[in-house]
């Protein structure tokens, strides 16, 4: 790969004017136009700050401050830690070459200067620096964009303040946790205030994680309001979502989802599920998993979903979670699995009845390495 060095800046530090001029001729021939000179280490340090070179060609023996000291001082400054510094040393000066590297030199060119070698080494260092800078810039840009996208994704979720308001209105306490395995994730959840008696809950988890899955959560988000008429009929609502997603998702992309509507008047919880992990239902000291089998969303237009109804009276709770909770492996290679989910929910209720979700997650994170390998969403809806 040939990289243009036309914009590269080189500082030549040498107390001998003849050396400065001949070095300049050599590197100008290598295609470098921006060249500045300094006559000793003190002058050199000042020129580095003013001229901001991409590379320094440095003589060792100079009055006032020698090249080794100048190099050491540059390396102590974080700004110049990566600046390529090429020493000019005598070809047979093995000790001197070692001292140059110890002072922080990147490489050296041997004296007397051989034009071909000098140009090649300068070019090599400048190309490396340019690639490094390009990569750092790219990384910086992507990080910034991901941060913006992350904020956008979080805005799809209900704010804590809103959960408190909704909780007060429907006599609920809603606790939640949302954590992506990388900057962006494929989970989405929300609450819907349907009317003064009915409140709906949606949790969806797109296959995979990262940017592709996150884009799908935005797709889903735009579809949610479109089917508002079916809000009281979960199976119908999931069918509508399924058909819309089937149109846009490629094979292998899909979501698991559960949508549940609580009737606070009759205590009936009606839900439909597309393969979401079995939710935990707790009522009057009874704890159990509820059936949530159903074809994944976005796989087939033939998918049919069924409404199931269970009782969720005051004092009871519903716990929804994404598969990361039961599939993340702990240090010993085990995972919670659907066998033990009831066990950890019961333990959380026993230990901290006032904040079981917080306790459950503390226990979980004590045994699992972060970042998680998959996105985690957990929502605990308790009726007061």
Give the residues lining the site for another protein (CB under 8 A). 205, 207-209, 251-254, 256, 275, 277-278, 292-296, 299-300, 302-303, 323, 327, 337-338, 373-374
Q: Each residue of 252-271: b (16+ CB within 10 Å) or e? A: ebbbbbbbbbbbbeeeebbb
Strand pairing category for 107-111 and 55-59 = unpaired
Nearer to another protein, 208 or 234 (CB): 208
Question: How many Cβ atoms from other residues are within 10 Å of residue 87's Cβ?
Answer: 25
CA distance 313 to 282: 9
Q: Which is nearer to another protein, 167 or 294 (CB)?
A: 294
End-to-end CA distance of the chain: 68
Beta strands in 122-251 (DSSP E): 172-179, 187-193, 198-206
Closer of 4 and 251 to another protein (Cβ): 251
Considering the complex, what minimum distance in angstroms separates the CB of residue 300 from another protein? Answer: 6
For the bound state, the minimum distance from the C-beta of residue 226 to another protein, rounded and expressed in Å, comes to 24
Q: What is the C-alpha separation between 213 and 188, in angstroms, rounded?
A: 10
Rounded to a whole number of angstroms, the minimum distance from the CB of residue 332 to another protein is 15
Residue 313: Cβ within 10 Å count: 12
Alpha carbon distances (Å) from 73 to 37, 87, 105, 153, 244: 18, 15, 12, 46, 63
d(CA 382, CA 171): 9
- Mind spelling out the 3-state secondary structure of 295-363? CCECCCCCCCCCCEEEECCCCCEEEEECCHHHHCECCCCCECHHHHHHHHHHHHHHHCCCCHHHHHHHH
Please report how close the Cβ of residue 327 comes to another protein at its closest, in angstroms. Answer: 6
Q: Is there a contact between 125 and 85 (Cβ–Cβ < 8 Å)?
A: no
Sequence-separated (6 or more) residues with CB below 8 Å from residue 45: 65, 70, 73, 74
Q: Which is nearer to another protein, 303 or 355 (CB)?
A: 303
Element (H, E) at 165: helix 160-170
Least Cβ distance, residue 183 to another protein (angstroms): 16
- Residue 118 or 274 having the CB closest to another protein: 274
| CA–CA dist 281, 210 (Å, integer) | 30
As measured in angstroms, the least distance from the Cβ of 321 to another protein is 14
Least Å from the CB of residue 19 to another protein = 56
Taking Cα atoms as reference points, which of 149, 109, 110, 114 lies closest to residue 125?
109
User: Would you say 204 and 187 are in contact if contact means Cβ atoms under 8 Å apart?
Assistant: yes
| Residue closer to another protein (CB basis): 105 or 277 | 277
What angle, rounded to 10 degrees, do the helices at 94-102 and 67-76 form? 20
- CB 171 to another protein: min, Å: 31
- Residue 79 or residue 306: which is nearer to another protein going by CB? 306
Q: For another protein, which is the closer residue by CB, 172 or 318?
A: 318
Report the residue number, 48 or 372, with the smaller CB distance to another protein.
Answer: 372
Q: How far is the CB of 138 from another protein (least distance, A)?
A: 24
Among residues 125 and 278, whose Cβ is nearest to another protein?
Answer: 278
Q: How far is the CB of 284 from another protein (least distance, A)?
A: 27
**Quick count: other Cβ atoms within 10 Å of Cβ 40?**
18
């Amino acid at each position: 790969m040939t990289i243009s060095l036309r914009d590269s800046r080189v500082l030549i530090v040498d107390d001998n004017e003849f050396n400065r001029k001949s070095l300049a001729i050599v590197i100008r021939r290598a295609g470098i136009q921006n060249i500045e000179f300094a006559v000793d280490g003190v002058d050199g340090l000042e020129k580095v700050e003013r001229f901001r070179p991409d590379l320094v060609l440095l003589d060792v023996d100079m009055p006032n401050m020698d090249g080794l000291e100048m190099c050491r001082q540059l390396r102590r400054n974080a700004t110049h830690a990566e600046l390529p510094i090429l020493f000019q040393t005598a070809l047979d000066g093995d000790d001197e070459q070692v001292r140059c590297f110890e002072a922080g030199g990147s490489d050296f060119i041997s004296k007397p200067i051989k034009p071909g070698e000098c140009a090649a080494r300068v070019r090599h260092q400048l190309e490396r620096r340019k690639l490094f800078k390009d990569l750092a810039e790219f990384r910086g840009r992507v990080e910034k964009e991901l941060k913006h996208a992350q904020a956008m994704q979080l805005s799809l979720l209900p704010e804590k303040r809103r959960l408190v308001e909704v909780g007060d209105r429907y006599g609920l306490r809603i606790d939640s946790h949302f954590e992506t395995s990388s900057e962006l994730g494929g989970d989405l959840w929300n609450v819907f205030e349907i009317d003064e008696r009915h409140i709906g809950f949606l949790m969806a988890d797109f296959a995979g994680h990262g940017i592709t899955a996150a884009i799908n959560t935005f797709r889903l988000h735009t579809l949610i309001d479109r089917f508002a008429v079916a809000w009281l009929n979960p199976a119908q609502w999931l069918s509508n979502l399924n058909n819309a997603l089937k149109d846009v998702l490629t094979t292998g992309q899909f979501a698991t989802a559960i949508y549940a509507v609580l009737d606070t008047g009759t205590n009936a919880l009606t839900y439909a599920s597309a393969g979401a992990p079995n939710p935990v239902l707790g009522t009057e000291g009874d704890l159990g998993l509820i059936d949530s089998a159903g074809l994944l969303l976005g796989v087939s237009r033939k998918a049919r979903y069924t409404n199931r109804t269970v009782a969720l009276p005051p004092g009871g709770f519903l716990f929804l979670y994404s598969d990361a909770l039961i599939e993340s492996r702990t240090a010993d290679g085990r995972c919670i699995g659907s066998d033990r989910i009831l066990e950890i929910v019961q333990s959380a209720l026993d230990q901290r009845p006032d904040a079981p979700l917080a306790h459950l997650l503390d226990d979980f994170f004590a045994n699992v390495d972060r970042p998680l390998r998959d996105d985690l969403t957990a929502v605990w809806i308790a009726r007061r």
